[in-house]
Every structure is written in C-alpha cells, then in structure tokens.
Amino acid sequence: MSMFGNAKELEPVSKSSDRTLVNFARVFLYMFILIAITGGVAFGLGYVIATSYAKAIEGGGDPTAILNTYLGLIIGSSVALFIMVLVINFVFIRGKHSVVVPSIIYAVLVGVLISSFTIWMDWVIIGTAFAITAGIFAIMALIAWFTKGNMSPLLLMGLGLIIGVVPLILINLFFRSTMVSWVVSFVIFAAIMFITMFDIWRIKKIAEQGYMNKNLSYYCAFVMYVDFINIFIRILYFLATIYGKK
C-alpha cells in the first residue's frame, strides 16, 4: 500500500524547477542502495548457511543446529520487519530525525528473509526476476515523468483490487483451486503495479513542486524500495512456478 497517506503536510524547501530531475534521480539512487544492501545480505547469508550446512553433512555432523539458527533468524526478521515499518513512518511523520538508519535496518531484514531464495532457487531465475523488475521500474518511471495528467485514480484502483480479491482468497481456503490461486496472484500483482505507478508519479510531483528535502528523499526511496521488493517477489514467484513445471 502507498505510504504517502501517512505523511504529514509538507513545507516546500525549494522552488527551483531545474532541480526536479536531480531530485527524482536521487530518490532512485537511494532506492538502489537499499536494494544493493538487501541483495548483499541475501546472497551473503544464503552462501554462509548453504556452505555451513554442506560442511556439516560432509563431516558426518548434525546440521539441525544450523537450520534452527537460520529459522530463528527468519522468524525474528519477520517480526522486526513489521516493527521497522512503524518506526520508519513514525520517525518521518515527527520529522526530527533521519529515516536513513531505520531504512537500512529494514533493507537488512528483508535481505535475511530473501536469503532463503538464494539457497533453494537457481540464481539465474533470481537474476531474471531482478532484471524484469528493474525494467518495469524504468518503464514506469518514464511514464510518470512524461505524464502531465492526474494519476491519483491508480491508487484507488489498486486499493479496490486488493479489497475485491479478499473474498476470492477466503473462498479458495476451502476449495483450493489452482485457477483461483492464479487469478488471485495476478490481481494482487496488478494492484501492486497500480500502487507503484501512483507512488512514482507522486514522488515526481513532489520533486516538481520543490518539496524534496534530503529526509523526504530518503523516505520516498524507502517507499519505492518496498514497491520494488513487492514486484520482485511476485515476478520471482511466477518464474519459479513456470520453471518448476518445466
């Protein structure tokens, strides 16, 4: 869901229109730094766990302790992730401190969770999913940059799809239909796309209007980072399912 609804009223910090592109690009730079942190943690931790597990098996030892430790990290990171979302929004709304540190912590926690993908999935699939997600983001950024109209309806469409798909999810808990599962997956993916498109457009409008101070740039980067990860995970799921069937 878009996080801009939680932000307080902002005061303009600059009216220079020639800074719009720089501000917009800076947000993307901060976003990719967070993505790089997540990727580094995911592949690093995944490599350590996989290597430790393999050595325990080869040495005739019991890898249970390794798996239990890793499971504890996954569970702890999941809980901490929810807390960090609240912390980041609280820090931003109060406006007294930077959201850089909590955003980095959030990126590290996501990396811990995604590390499970690097252990069990082919890295080619992960790389393909990342490339597709980056391409989608580039296209949406271009659309948002050149669009002059109001793209606020996209947020309503995305939220409407999320609300509308809830009954299907509840029904499918009982029927376990593969077709319904795919419909739900694509509807959720469409909702994420609409909301992401709105977020990028909204950030561009903020940059145009001169509201982009440094802390707001960090927060906007965090919002787009969350959108990026959501899209990446959905695409990774689709690719894994397709390659799994083959």
**pLDDT tens, position by position, 39-74:** 999 999 999 999 988 888 887 777 888 889 999 999
pLDDT at 12: 46
pLDDT at 17: 55
What percent helix, strand, coil does the chain show, rounded to 5? Answer: 85, 0, 15
pLDDT at 9: 41
228-237 average pLDDT score:
94
CA proximity to 37, closest of 142, 130, 110, 119 = 110
Percent of the chain with pLDDT over 70: 91
Cβ–Cβ < 8 Å for 13, 211 = yes
Cβ–Cβ < 8 Å for 26, 217 = yes
Cβ–Cβ < 8 Å for 234, 192 = yes
Angle of helix 123-146 versus helix 214-245 axis, rounded to 10 = 130
Name the helix (H) or strand (E) containing 246: none
* Residue-range domain boundaries for the chain: 19-245
What is the dihedral sign for C-alpha 101, 103, 109, 112? negative
What residue type is assigned to position 85 of the chain?
V
- pLDDT at residue 1 is higher than 60: no
- pLDDT at residue 245 is higher than 70: no
Which pLDDT band, with edges at 50, 70 and 90, does 83 fall under? very high
**pLDDT tens, position by position, 100-138:** 999 999 999 999 999 999 988 888 999 999 999 999 999
Say which range, 81-90, 128-137, 160-169, has the weakest mean pLDDT.
160-169
183-188 average pLDDT score:
89
In the structure encoding, which two tokens stand for residue 213, read together? 């101070």
What is the reported pTM?
Answer: 0.86
Burial class from Cβ neighbours inside 10 Å (0-12, 13-18, 19+) for residue 86 reads: exposed
* Exposure of 102 in the CB half-sphere (CA atoms within 13 A): 21
- pLDDT at residue 75 is higher than 70: yes
CA–CA separation, 142 and 137 (whole Å): 9
**pLDDT tens, position by position, 131-161:** 999 999 999 888 888 888 888 888 889 889 8
**pLDDT tens, position by position, 200-231:** 999 888 888 776 788 889 999 999 999 999 99
Cβ–Cβ < 8 Å for 158, 195 = yes
Cα angle, residue 82 at apex, residues 81 and 85 outer, rounded to 5°: 85
pLDDT at 19: 75
Cβ–Cβ < 8 Å for 225, 111 = no
CA proximity to 200, closest of 19, 31, 35, 14 = 31
Pseudo-torsion of CA 127, 130, 135, 141, nearest 10°? -160
Angle of helix 123-146 versus helix 100-120 axis, rounded to 10 = 140
Angle of helix 153-175 versus helix 178-209 axis, rounded to 10 = 160
